[in-house]
A and B are shown apart, each in its own frame.
Chain A
Amino acid sequence: MSRRRRRRTIERIIEMEITPMIDVVFLLIIFFMTTAQFARMTRADVELPREAGEQDEAPEEAGLVVNVMADGSIIVNGDPVSLDTLASLVRIEARAAGGAEHARVLLRADRSADTAHLNRIVTRLRELDIGAARVATEVPR
């Protein structure tokens, strides 16, 4: 009797349902692949000034992000733009925000860039009646 039972148990095939696990693993792979790609696409390679910034304020969405590279070139949404093109982009942002005083501009200037490049942009923003801008910094570790 006991021999028969043993044989039966040996003959049984142990099966594990792994389909949902593979689904989850594939979803995780797709997630990590896409997020890594997006981070590379949106972020310009700028070495920000190492300052604490204003930590007490809640992070605010910037309407227009202007990257000022070390060589002085201006990058907006991953594309190099001239000062005149930047001015038209700022006008669009101001129109969308409901006026120049509400326009939100974030300046991401490379720490080693010449202030002449930043001054040119600030002067142009002032000509467009943009009263305030934010300067992005990197918290030193």
Chain B
Amino acid sequence: MARRRRRARPPARITLNLASMIDVTFLLLIYFMVTTVLAPPEDRLSPTIQTRQDQTSSTAPDFQPQVVRVERRDGRPVYVLGSRVLADRAELAQALRGLPRDEGVFIQVFDRLPVEFAVAAVQTARDAGFERVTYVPGE
């Protein structure tokens, strides 16, 4: 009797409905793909401007350094090259084109200015073909 009962029972088959889980999983995948911003790590940022900070050559008596002063005059930031006051980077670029490239240029940056304005001077000097651009904090 017992043997017959065992044989008569069909083998139990466990089925798991995965359809809803797959739906949720795909929704999560789409969400993360859309929201993720793959930013490069900080140390791999390619657009950087190389500057030097040594000030030793500027103090040599037999050498007239080319200095661009970045300062504030009459409440607005300006570039000063010698006696010329340059209002924007376009004027600065034009003025730098007339200078010899071999000696390099010093960018003397004074306080109370936006960093963007100072960095623009460094970039303009690099774009003008100066290999040696020295950032000097104003005193």
Contact = CB atoms under 8 A, between A and B. Distances in A.
A binds B: yes
Interface of A: 18, 22, 25-26, 28-29, 32-33, 35-36, 39, 42-44, 49-55, 57-63, 65, 68, 106, 108-116, 118-120, 122-123, 125-126, 130-139
A18 B22 contact: yes
Contacts of B42: 42-44, 62, 65, 106, 108, 136
Q: Which bracket fits the contact residues of B?
A: 35 or more
B111 A51 contact: no
B48 A136 contact: yes
Interface string B60-91: 00000000001000000000000000000000
Contact of B113 (A22, A60, A115): A115
B43 interface: yes
B12 interface: no
Given A122-B137, A132-B52, A135-B122, A26 B25 contact: yes
Contacts of B46: 53, 55, 57-59
Contact of B123 (A53, A63, A110, A120): A53
A49 B53 contact: no
Given A32-B33, A33-B32, A49-B119, 19 more contacts: A22-B21, A29-B28, A36-B32, A42-B42, A54-B48, A65-B42, A106-B45, A113-B115, A114-B114, A115-B109, A115-B112, A115-B113, A115-B117, A119-B109, A119-B111, A119-B137, A122-B137, A133-B135, A135-B135
